[in-house]
Structure 1
Amino acid sequence: TRKNMNLRVDDVTDVLDAMSVWTSDKKSPFYGRIDTNNVGMAGHSMGAKTSQLMIGQQGWLSRTKKDKRIRAAVLMSPSSPSLQSAKSAFGSVTTPCLLLTGTRDSVPFLSDQSTESRRAVFSALPSGNAYELVLHNATHSAFTDRSRRNDTPPNPKHHRAIEAITTAFWDAYLQGNEEAQKWLRDSGTKAALEPQNTWQSKCSPD
């Protein structure tokens, strides 16, 4: 619901604000240990939708934040809006994004999202620092350790690919690792993927 999504956005903002307090408080175990202006946010399904709003997705029914403290986002099973075009929702998002979905990424009876609608998010993002991984035969549960009823047995190679790609993405955009960014852009990812998987990027020239 609209109320639920707005509460989610408020919760994330509250946590980010609290982190700023913790890292400045000498009595806190987090003192000096959090870079609050260089945050990465990741989410799956509803968590991805929350992340989308935090990095500037424009919506008619939910509050948009575009919090500049979030420097990169990993969106697992992202969602396209149902009441507007993907382009109008994501065309102004400039935060570096890594999107992950699967060729069987749907949740019948609970969501109208399909693999096609999830992939529409990447297509709608402007050129910049955007990447998309589509795992062959991966279901909605492929990004978790909990399978849904009637799911096919999980492919252990999916999790290894997710780990490799997301680690490189965080290294590239939170740590400023140029080798990681080059690996993402120059097809170094092929070594981590199966031939049936789809990898693409939408990056501006250096």
Structure 2
Amino acid sequence: MQDLVSTPVLSLRPVALAAPGRGTDLHVRVSAPATGGELPVIVFSHGFGESLDGYAPLVDFWAAHGFVVVQPTHLDSRTLDLAPDDPRHPDIWRTRVEDLTRVVDQLDVVEAAVPGLAGRLDRSRVAAAGHSWGAQTASTLLGARVLDADGVPGEDLSDPRITAGVLLAAPGTGGADLAPFAAEQFPFMNPGFAGMTTPALVVAGDADQSALTTRGPEWFTDPYSLSPGPKSLLTLFGAEHSLGGITGYAATETTDESPERVALVQRLTSAFLRSALYPGDTGFAAARAELAESTNPLGRVESK
């Protein structure tokens, strides 16, 4: 794997992946360091309405520090503009999960599409990451399951090829914790985390007050507190849903712009994934210690 030195990044979009039954090919962006071999892979799921063009502050950093990042555009993207009566709407949450699985299934296509990338991927080290709805999508590959109205877990859609995850501003539990409109519009937003056994870093802002829930910002810590270890939780002080601006360098939806906060998310997520994918790597422990020793910390990390 690449060391911690930042390297130039190659990015190609769109790469089309076959997706029978989806109604359209799955388009992805691939970002990779220009040099190095045996590169681990991050499959990234965007938030509601976003696309493969989002999240450059994270994607650029990850790719510059040794990861190949693949970003699909899900069917809910504003760039696809699905009609309100499109029959695919009720199952978009499931299609999102299938999109990530398709990427892993077709890494040969991904590798062949990017000039100079052939033979450089490490297929044994694949992580899933996502923001907001994308974090719920990624969590399903880690073992989270959608519960029905009686609390019975639905189908297990976890993928054993995914061995680590990063969940950024991931929605918490459903049921009575959802605002009435959310319960009506998003019945799939009822995750159960008891089976989410894959190692993951959950990132939550302590000022992330969502209209989706009747609870406060602690709702976004549920994927950590309600799942078995090994897990870590990075709580960002003063952060709202964009966690300081991870969705883009000039994203209009950022309400808590903080380059320092984004830089912390970049460093901690990269260090976590490196340590999770490479047993014996001490980068995350060192990053945790540095944060804890800071005289004016931007957040805190706890683990179990």
Query: TM-score, normalised on structure 2?
Result: 0.56
- Residue matched to 1:101: 204
Shift of 1:2: 5.0
Deviations 1:115-147 (A, max 9, x none): 11111221112132x111111111112232324
78, 93, 96: which one aligns with 1:5: 93
- Residue matched to 1:19: 107
Amino acid paired to 2:302: Q
169, 172, 176: which one aligns with 1:77: 169
Shift of 1:198: 2.6
Whether the 8 Å CA contact 2:206–2:240 is kept in 1: the answer is yes
Deviations 1:28-85 (A, max 9, x none): 8543222223101111001101001111102125654211111110100011231399
Structure 1: 5+ residue runs without aligned partners? Answer: none
Deviations 1:142-186 (A, max 9, x none): 23232437x34x1221011111101211220123352214325x6
- Residue matched to 2:14: none
- Residue matched to 2:279: 176
Give, in whole Å, the separation in 2 of the partners of 1:180 and 1:124.
26
Identity of aligned residues (%): 26
Amino acid paired to 1:137: G
- Residue matched to 1:43: 130
Q: Note closer, same or farther for the CA distance 1:199–1:167 as it changes in structure 2 (3 Å cut).
A: same
Shift of 1:201: 0.9
Whether the 8 Å CA contact 1:22–1:28 is kept in 2: the answer is no
Segment of structure 1 superposing worse, 119-128 or 53-62 = 53-62
Deviations 1:86-132 (A, max 9, x none): xx811222211011111121343xx227411111221112132x111
- Residue matched to 1:127: 229
Amino acid paired to 1:148: E
Shift of 1:191: 5.0
Structure 2: 5+ residue runs without aligned partners? Answer: 1-88, 149-153, 178-190
Q: Note closer, same or farther for the CA distance 1:132–1:84 as it changes in structure 2 (3 Å cut).
A: same
- Residue matched to 1:31: 118
222, 231, 253: which one aligns with 1:148: 253
Whether the 8 Å CA contact 1:72–1:174 is kept in 2: the answer is yes
Whether the 8 Å CA contact 2:199–2:229 is kept in 1: the answer is no
Q: Note closer, same or farther for the CA distance 1:4–1:177 as it changes in structure 2 (3 Å cut).
A: same
Give, in whole Å, the separation in 1 of the partners of 2:207 and 2:101.
32
Tell me, what secondary structure is at the counterpart of 1:137? coil
Give, in whole Å, the separation in 2 of the partners of 1:59 and 1:105.
23
Give, in whole Å, the separation in 2 of the partners of 1:118 and 1:10.
24
Give, in whole Å, the separation in 2 of the partners of 1:84 and 1:70.
31
Q: Note closer, same or farther for the CA distance 1:157–1:74 as it changes in structure 2 (3 Å cut).
A: same
Q: Which has the higher contact order (CA 8 A, sep 6+)?
A: 1
Whether the 8 Å CA contact 2:268–2:284 is kept in 1: the answer is no
RMSD of equivalent CA atoms: 3.0
256, 260, 263: which one aligns with 1:160: 263
- Structure number having the greater helix percentage: 1
- Residue matched to 1:118: 220
Tell me, what secondary structure is at the counterpart of 1:73? strand
1:68 counterpart = 2:160? yes
Whether the 8 Å CA contact 1:99–1:132 is kept in 2: the answer is yes
Matched residue count:
193
Give, in whole Å, the separation in 2 of the partners of 1:93 and 1:56.
4
Segment of structure 1 superposing worse, 6-15 or 113-122 = 113-122
- Residue matched to 1:199: 301
